[in-house]
Amino acid sequence: MSDKYDVIVIGGGPAGYIAAIRAAQLGKKVLLIEKDKLGGTCLNRGCIPTKAIIASINLYNKLPLLKRYGLSACDIKIDMKAVIERKDRIVARLCRGVEHLLKQNKVEVVFGEGKLIDQENITVGSQNFATRKIIIATGSSPIELPGMPFDGKQFFSSSDVLGWTDIPKALDIVGGGVIGVEFAYIYSSLGTEINLYEALPALLNGMDKDLSKSAEDLLKRKRVNLKLDTPFKKEMSCGRSLICVGRKPNKINLPATKDIVYAGDASGGIMLAHAAYEQGMLAAEGKSWDQKNIPMAVYTHPEIGSVGVTEKEAGDRAAVSKFPLSALGYANAIGETEGFVKIVADKNSEELLGIHIFGSGASDLLSAATLAVKKGLKAGELGSIFQAHPSLGEGLQEAALGIVKKSLHSMP
Ligand SMILES: Cc1cc2nc3c(=O)[nH]c(=O)nc-3n(C[C@H](O)[C@H](O)[C@H](O)COP(=O)(O)OP(=O)(O)OC[C@H]3O[C@@H](n4cnc5c(N)ncnc54)[C@H](O)[C@@H]3O)c2cc1C
């Protein structure tokens, strides 16, 4: 019996490796089973690779503006092979980091497909491992459209696209959620002619309407052909179609119990890496998860960031303040005046309900915004905290002051 593990984690993505580390910190004997690469979708096929490519694209987009900043350069070109190689180096370095972290925390790792035999036994190939608790963190898989399986020729998943070293002349993007919008931003910046199909009437469904509208305006400006309210059909394909219509949890055929816990995308909740981190940690600690106020960012330029309820969700309770970044000294100094900070508060209590940002640095501004919304601060409290000057954070303060009619840098 001494060989029995306290915890076995299946899946080495954000939910799984964090669950394993946290369980080991709590003094448990832990085994993590991973069938592919440590770091999961996030590190290998999701968050990090897309952001590494977007970092190249953002620089590329900025180069034609050098003159405005008093600079000049010639012979500006993009080499997609080099962009992808840089992305691959970053991913490899971070995967080694996860491996090192697990080792330092004394988590044993076995590579191979974990199969659940019963509540206490898991096999990997011919090996059997016994355990007291199982954390299933097997992630999710991209959904295919009927009659359009991912074939690597005409219909592609986001994982396929991340390996492309050519720049397609034309590309359909099917799905106007976060992944579709980020890929539309990347490829429109590279001059690809894009048709973006979304079955619903707006992009980024579920986000505040001002953010959806800003994303639509941004992509239209980048000459993306937005086809909203238009379900995609096979015969509409231009020859290369990226299908990003959502992801389905990778379930394992045992229901959750006290000692079998799902974490991350596999749980079927919010499919975001930081949600997976949090669920992984709580699963190891035996605590349940509160899905409220999970921040969310879209890495276009300007970025999009959101936490808490939208104006529509707040309904009659809503008091709304919107502060334009063009009124900030710092936004002007760095040439990033496009966008706004929008605050939704309770009109009676002035409690912050949601913060929605379109602007440079929105993903970083979300840290203060999330803190304020999660802690239930009132608009006046956020407004009373002076931010460094000059900084984009002043936009948050100003928008909060707008709720209590004290905004300093916008017209009364
Ligand atoms: C293109 C793209 C961009 C994204 N960008 C962002 C972003 O910017 N921000 C954000 O928060 N989220 C982003 N996401 C979502 C994020 O990647 C996921 O929410 C996150 O990876 C979920 O973590 P997880 O640990 O639950 O699952 P995963 O990361 O999918 O990890 C699951 C792991 O389990 C392994 N596994 C599965 N079955 C078995 C088995 N039977 N035995 C052993 N191992 C198994 C898999 O190989 C995998 O490594 C993006 C996703 C995509 C596709």
Residues 6+ apart with CB under 8 A from 133: 6, 7, 8, 259, 260, 261
Q: Has residue 16 been placed in a domain? A: yes
Task: Say if residue 104 is in the same domain as residue 19.
Answer: yes
pLDDT per position as a tens digit, 29-76: 999 999 999 999 999 999 999 999 999 999 999 999 999 999 998 888
Helix (H, G, I), strand (E, B) or coil at 351: strand
CA distance 241 to 154: 6
Task: Say if residue 16 is in the same domain as residue 131.
Answer: yes
Task: Say if residue 228 is in the same domain as residue 361.
Answer: no
Q: Has residue 223 been placed in a domain? A: yes
Provide the CB-side half-sphere exposure for 310 (13 A, CA): 13
Nearest CA to ligand 1 atom 6: 47
Q: Check: CB of residue 166 under 8 Å from CB of residue 156.
A: no
Q: How far away, in angstroms, is 13 Cα from ligand 1 center?
A: 6
Nearest CA to ligand 1 atom 32: 139
Which CATH number is 376's domain given?
3.30.390.30
Q: Check: CB of residue 297 under 8 Å from CB of residue 362.
A: yes
Q: Has residue 300 been placed in a domain? A: yes
Q: Has residue 305 been placed in a domain? A: yes
Task: Say if residue 189 is in the same domain as residue 86.
Answer: no
Model pLDDT, residue 401: 97
Which CATH number is 52's domain given?
3.50.50.60
Model pLDDT, residue 2: 53
Q: How far away, in angstroms, is 371 Cα from ligand 1 center?
A: 25
**Does any ligand 1 atom lie closer than 6 A to the CB of residue 176?**
no
Question: Domain range spanning residue 223?
Answer: 144-243
Task: Say if residue 216 is in the same domain as residue 256.
Answer: no
Instruction: Tell me the best of 43, 47, 113, 364 to mutate to test the pocket of ligand 1, counting ligand atoms within 8 Å of each CB and taking the most.
Output: 47
Tokens of 206: 């579920």
Task: Say if residue 170 is in the same domain as residue 219.
Answer: yes
Tokens of 104: 């330092």
Task: Say if residue 300 is in the same domain as residue 376.
Answer: yes
Task: Say if residue 272 is in the same domain as residue 387.
Answer: no
Mean pLDDT of each 10-residue bin along the chain, 412 residues long: 86 98 98 98 97 96 93 90 97 98 98 94 96 97 98 97 97 98 98 98 97 98 98 97 97 82 96 98 95 96 98 98 97 97 98 98 98 98 96 98 92 74
- Whole-model pTM: value is 0.96
pLDDT per position as a tens digit, 109-140: 999 999 999 999 999 999 999 999 999 999 99
Task: Say if residue 56 is in the same domain as residue 119.
Answer: yes
